[in-house]
Amino acid sequence: MSRRALITGITGQDGSYLAEHLLEQGYEVWGLVRGQANPRRSRVSRLVHDLRFVEGDLLDQSSLIAAIDRVQPDEVYNLGAISYVPLSWQQAELTGEVTGLGVLRMLEALRVVSGVGSSGTPSRQVRFYQASSSEMFGEVAETPQSENTVFHPRSPYGVAKAYGHFITRNYRESFGMYAVSGILFNHESPRRGLEFVTRKISHTVAKIKLGLAGELKLGNLDARRDWGFAGDYVSAMHLMLQQDEPRDYVVGTGVVHSVRDAVRIAFGAVGLDWSRYVVVDEEFVRPAEVETLCADPTRAREELGWQPRLKFEELMTMMVEADLAHLTHAQKYDEYSAHVDW
């Protein structure tokens, strides 16, 4: 019988790549979705076939208990969150409820359904993965950042992620649950939302190349991040749940690039001079900026045998090419539609 995995946040970038990876490994994959009318459910269904869905909401404890009881998973990957950092200042309370307390609700649901912490032997040992974030490091105490680096988050999102990280550790230590956190540094792909800076860059560059836009507005061009490919990082998530003992891991490339580097590479991919099109707009500067994040992935490399495959230059070029292809296809469809009597 195949192993069964439940993924929250399955309609997002990481969820879709993880679902594909687990299906390739022979898993039966379930996605937690908020109702049948979830508009992104059809999108992930087109990207990833052979998925099953169960209703549930990270804001509702009873729905999570019901979902876990129905699916009876062997592994749970909690990727669900309000993950856009700038939005967390506008919706700080909701970010805390979903990104922070949502982790507690999921852990408690697993504990209740599995019978962990009650008298007798638990009915089954479910392995739990929590998607922690490099944003927890914030104003960094040291560079690069490892599993032992102290946290100093600089946004409501980072604070909520830190809560989720510590409550996962607490349930592991208090109840003996197999619960781990992956402290993932920035990871991107053509499936990234348009609000995120790398995808904003790749999509706008493609529009400029096709004559659909004339400028790219950005905030701090000097912010530096450790960027990798999301398709590489989901394999690290899976590997974390295959170890004999539960441990937390930092996942990143160990190489940093600035937003300016991302811009230069993206415009270079279409043969344009970035300085002619980029406009710095204070609207996109964070209230409390995180200047530099750089991973020390030594533990992941040595214990998981994990290493990133795609380099940043290849990643940005891939994203630009994907956006060019998508926009070109959309243009051709619009031209066709304009001349067809439906």
- Asked if 255 contacts 321 with a C-beta cutoff of 8 angstroms, the reply is no
Token pair recorded at residue 9: 């946040």
User: How far, in Å, CA of 178 to CA of 264, rounded?
Assistant: 43
User: Strand, coil or helix: what is 1?
Assistant: coil
Which of 176, 135, 174 has its CA nearest to residue 152?
Answer: 135
Q: Give buried/exposed letters for 211-240 (b at 16+ CB in 10 A, else e).
A: eeeeebebbbeebbbbbbbbbbbbbbbbbb
Q: What is d(CA 161, CA 231) in angstroms, rounded to the nearest whole number?
A: 22
- The residues that are catalytic are 133, 135, 157
Question: Using CA of residue 330, residue 335, residue 338, residue 342, what is the dihedral sign?
Answer: negative
Helix (H, G, I), strand (E, B) or coil at 152: coil
| Distances 190 to 78, 91, 319 between C-alpha atoms, Å | 22, 26, 5
